[in-house]
Structure 1
Amino acid sequence: MSSSSVASAEPFSLRRIAVSAFGPSLLFGIGEGAILPVAPLTARDLGASVPTAALIVTLIGVGSLVSNIPASLITMKRGERWAIVAAALWSIAALAMCALTGHLGLFAAGAFMVGMSQAVYSLARQSYLTEAVPPEHRARALSTLGGSMRVGLFIGPFLAAAAIHQYGIGAAYAVGIAALICAALLGARIPDLVHAPHPAGDAPVAKPSLLGVVGEHKHLFYTLGIGVLLVSAVRTTRQAVIPLWADHLALAPSVAALIYGIAGGVEMLVFYPAGKVMDKKGRLWVAIPSLITMGIPLLLMPFTTGSHTLLLAAAVVGFGNGMGSGLIMTLGADHSPRHGRAHFLGVWRLMADLGSTAGPALLSFITASLTLGAAIGATGLLAFAAAAQLAYWIPRSPRSGH
């Protein structure tokens, strides 16, 4: 077990740390899932046009994108545990602002703040588990971390729907705030990491700078980092293509929502087995099959003609995406240095978020220039490009790490 792990002479067990490690992630997912479906509706109620409402929801992703580097500084200065608590409190303030304001500008600011809190929380959570979990259990831990967030995102809209039915649209924000209060309380109980004492007589290691970490690992960011960017682009774009193609096929919105929900449910079935394969066999054994499993149905989706064939394609895409749960975090953890880990992971997450932003933009550009079918097919080709990039640059050893 790593010297920086939560110390114990007993064999490591993910089950023993499950509540403190994955509970906040589940609750964060519930909080976000509760408000995502209603955020554009609230913006519309405040006077936004449809394009403006969509843009305001996009501010959540923009807030996360621009906050990755500040998140690394906060985590380095305050530590993982209190960064997690601070992120939950910041998100609570953001949701309260969104729920109570009657001004569209303040609502947009609240959406941006939600994205900021996501960046801080996600980086602190990944950094904590990278330190606390031995390398031989790393992929399972980070896959479960990603999976627990997805479970929360799946549950959140249902809880919000029940609350809205009883009390109106503002109740969705109350559900989100309640989940985040629980996340903050649970985060405050996370055990502190126990670091190995500094050897007597050795000079203390200077705190690394952000620019120093970037310079030391620039080759990795140019190579494997580009693969991560492509993976993120495919993952984010696949969320948009299912409802867009359902609309193209003139399916009822309820049918489109059902197909989307089933695809999300399939994703949750495979995250732990995929993590176990990564730990036992190596990262490539999951990375390449995951992307190919997404790429093939995305290439074929423009040829679907009804709800049944679209459901099949969407479910296979969901299965492939679920296989890759935690992959980006695991690769980042594998290559992150002991000193300056938060800085490294901040840049790693920045590259992933750049992909998440670029993917939907590319979908929009190709749709406007050619057709929606061509854009979906291009997303499938992007998945194969990501697979080729990772196949070349992921180390062939079963695990790599520091």
Structure 2
Amino acid sequence: MLVQIVNICAIFERILGGQDLFPSYSVKVSLESSMSDQPRTTKPFANAFQIYAPSLIYAIGLGAIMPAIAGASSRFGVSLAVAASTVTLIGIGSLIANAPAAQLASRAGERLTMIFSALVGTLGVTLAWAMVAGWFPLQPPSDFVGYMVGILMIGMAGAGFNLARQSYLAVAVPVSHRARAMSLLGGMLRIGSFVGPFLGALVQSFMGMQGAFAVGAACMGIAVVVSLFIEELVEPNTPSHLESTTTNPIEIITNPTMTSLAKQHWRVLLSTGLGVLCLAAMRASRTAVIPLWAGHLGLSPAHASLIYGVAGAIDLVMFYPSGLLMDRKGRRVVAISCLAGLAIGTAVVPFTGTAGWLMVAAVLIGLGNGFGAGIVMTLGADYSPDIGRPKFLALWRLLSDTGTLSGPLLISAVTAVSTLAFGIWSIAVLGFVGAGIFAKSLPPGPGSVARQTEAPTKPGN
């Protein structure tokens, strides 16, 4: 599957006159290689290719268990509301594990962080599987508590796995090709979310509900093994190296804290970072908006799933063109278009009265979301400093995870005091606000937004 994906991306490059990016080999990487806007080799993805295989496998495993989490919860005798809320444990686990994951990546490196995180994810899925299958003679509510701990572990593992691979790609790929690298990584996540549920459903057909967890445990276990073959980044961030490459030793900070990084980059975090929060909220809300409005229209679950699936397919095919556009035209045009597309599509939903028109709105939402594949990771990589990169990316993910949790809550809160239509419009307004933030905070043109923002002004200008 990965080979076919790479071949499709290579076709896009050739059609648009690009170079051959994708090698069949990998070499060791160095921090200096990521600091130039020019490709350092004829195959800029030489060092990135090894990241995509474990990412795709891990994403398939996660995609297999996500639809089963709430359904499996109901087997423990809890209410439907409690069962539905267990899905949020994934986001909560990711939120609370961002800082520890950054510390681990800073100390142990990206490769070991990915291996450890995938192992924790495997253990978490296995624990949840054991509770669902009744491997241990536990009485209620102890079995449900064990199940929730397993789901929380999956979320925590995702924080470390996602942060480490983003940090790795930020170094392994030159800035001129960074957006394509991040979009391809985003594509792995989308493909996993698309393929995983089907694979989980296939195994469930002869194993029952626990089949989804069996697929998840197997895929995450395979991701552990595949991650062992990733070559560690060679990051020359020792004090001696820094002293030889800087003219101001006072500025050397070999181990900045997350607090010091937040103080140093507060302008970015409170401007572009808020736009990222809005985007994450929009993306999380789209998974609720379409099914909720389909139910409001009286459509069957099968029709709702079909509409959502079409939107997902549109989203899926857009990920690599999005990266090409970001690298060639700039991050700003993609970020604004992504949020504007999501906001317009969401705002149209309450005006639809038939399945056909809801499908049109869903396609707009899918186009908008697919148009921004990898944008959050690309912006985070652009703004991340060479020293303390994992910790900065943890701050970036903290904003994104906060948006992911808050989006559906905003819809619920507004709907509780008014109507579902106003709840949907409230999240659409948030999308337009985010687009405005990106329009104001992001510079135009290709290349790293941080380099454009922080470029020194020549004397006399």
TM-score range, shorter-chain basis? over 0.9
Letter of the 1:10 partner, please give it. T
CA distance in 2, matches of 1:351, 1:61: 12
Q: Does 1:173 align with 2:204?
A: no
Distance 1:179 1:19, change over 3 A: farther
Q: Does 1:13 align with 2:61?
A: no
Query: 1:140-191 deviations in whole A, cap 9, x for unaligned?
Result: 0001111111100110000011101122111111111111122111111111
Match of 1:289 in 2: 337
CA distance in 1, matches of 2:86, 2:358: 29
Q: Which residue, out of 351, 358, 362, partners 1:310?
A: 358
Match of 1:341 in 2: 389
Match of 1:157 in 2: 197
SS in 1 for 2:67: coil
Q: Does 1:301 align with 2:349?
A: yes
Q: Does 1:271 align with 2:302?
A: no
CA distance in 1, matches of 2:87, 2:30: 40
CA apart distance, 1:239: 1.1
CA apart distance, 1:195: 3.1
Query: 1:28-80 deviations in whole A, cap 9, x for unaligned?
Result: 21111111111111110111110111111111111111111111111111100
Match of 2:263 in 1: 215
SS in 2 for 1:11: coil
Match of 2:18 in 1: none
CA apart distance, 1:196: 4.5
Give % identity. 40
Contact 1:228–1:351 (Cα < 8 Å) also in 2: yes
SS in 1 for 2:44: coil
Query: 1:293-340 deviations in whole A, cap 9, x for unaligned?
Result: 111121111011121111111111011101111111111111110011
SS in 2 for 1:396: coil
TM-score (norm 2): 0.83
Query: 1:229-255 deviations in whole A, cap 9, x for unaligned?
Result: 111111111111010011111111111
Query: 1:358-396 deviations in whole A, cap 9, x for unaligned?
Result: 111100011111111111122222111110001100123
Q: CA RMSD in A?
A: 1.9
Point out the structure with max Rg over C-alpha.
Answer: 2
Contact 2:44–2:174 (Cα < 8 Å) also in 1: no
Letter of the 1:100 partner, please give it. A
Distance 1:175 1:201, change over 3 A: closer
Contact 2:47–2:173 (Cα < 8 Å) also in 1: no
CA distance in 1, matches of 2:173, 2:371: 21
CA distance in 2, matches of 1:19, 1:284: 26
CA apart distance, 1:2: 6.6
Match of 2:65 in 1: 35
Letter of the 1:26 partner, please give it. L
CA apart distance, 1:11: 2.1
Contact 1:5–1:193 (Cα < 8 Å) also in 2: no
Match of 2:123 in 1: 93
CA distance in 2, matches of 1:142, 1:299: 28
CA distance in 2, matches of 1:258, 1:226: 33
Q: Does 1:117 align with 2:136?
A: no
Q: Does 1:387 align with 2:432?
A: no
Q: Does 1:137 align with 2:177?
A: yes
Residue range with higher mean Cα deviation, 80-89 or 193-202: 193-202
Residue range with higher mean Cα deviation, 337-346 or 374-383: 374-383
Q: Which runs of 5+ in 2 are unaligned?
A: 1-28, 135-142, 452-461
TM-score (norm 1): 0.95
Contact 2:271–2:441 (Cα < 8 Å) also in 1: yes
Q: Does 1:105 align with 2:136?
A: no
CA apart distance, 1:208: 1.5
Contact 1:2–1:133 (Cα < 8 Å) also in 2: no
Contact 2:86–2:148 (Cα < 8 Å) also in 1: yes
Residue range with higher mean Cα deviation, 271-280 or 373-382: 373-382
Query: 1:111-154 deviations in whole A, cap 9, x for unaligned?
Result: 11111001011100100000111000000000111111110011
Distance 1:174 1:162, change over 3 A: same
CA apart distance, 1:206: 2.6
Contact 2:50–2:230 (Cα < 8 Å) also in 1: yes
CA distance in 2, matches of 1:152, 1:251: 27
Letter of the 1:113 partner, please give it. M
CA apart distance, 1:200: 9.0
SS in 2 for 1:213: helix
Contact 1:5–1:195 (Cα < 8 Å) also in 2: no
SS in 2 for 1:268: helix
Contact 1:295–1:381 (Cα < 8 Å) also in 2: yes
SS in 1 for 2:232: coil
Q: Which runs of 5+ in 1 are unaligned?
A: none
CA apart distance, 1:13: 3.2
Contact 1:43–1:56 (Cα < 8 Å) also in 2: yes
CA distance in 2, matches of 1:236, 1:271: 17
CA distance in 2, matches of 1:137, 1:124: 19
CA distance in 1, matches of 2:307, 2:158: 27
CA distance in 2, matches of 1:94, 1:5: 36
CA distance in 1, matches of 2:117, 2:344: 38
Query: 1:73-110 deviations in whole A, cap 9, x for unaligned?
Result: 11111100010011111011001110112400110111
Contact 2:346–2:361 (Cα < 8 Å) also in 1: yes
Match of 1:368 in 2: 416
Match of 1:63 in 2: 93
May I ask how many residue pairs the two structures share in their alignment? Answer: 401
- Following TM superposition, the consecutive aligned residue runs of length 4 or more in structure 1 with deviations greater than 6 angstroms are none
Letter of the 1:122 partner, please give it. N
Distance 1:168 1:4, change over 3 A: farther
Letter of the 1:184 partner, please give it. V
CA apart distance, 1:9: 6.4
Letter of the 1:144 partner, please give it. L
